[in-house]
Amino acid sequence: MHFTVIQIIIMFLIGYVCFYALVDRIMKCIEHCATAKAYGRFREAGVMIKMDDVAAGIAKSKEEKDNVEKRLD
């Protein structure tokens, strides 16, 4: 079975998009699980907080961590 250059490029692009979609889906799942764990810990501690506030706090701490890493480089 012989493939042309165009067919190989198209197969590579389709494979790349599928791989990217799979990795993106896994990362979103990991992020959601981390947010749910943090929310559960707040509820166990008796703090009434919204899920959106927990997600915003996680995003803010990630930004601060990235800024510190940039300053160290």
> Could you report the per-residue pLDDT of 41-59, keeping only the tens digit for each?
877 887 777 777 777 877 7
Mean pLDDT of 25-54: 82
What pLDDT band is residue 28 in, cutting at 50, 70 and 90? very high
Beta-carbon contacts of residue 58 (< 8 Å; ≥ 6 apart): 31, 34, 35, 38
- C-alpha to C-alpha distance for 51 and 40, rounded to whole angstroms: 10
Mean pLDDT of 15-39: 92
What pLDDT shows up at residue 23? 97
| Closest C-alpha to 54, from 27, 24, 29, 34 | 34
CB 39 within 8 A of CB 31: no
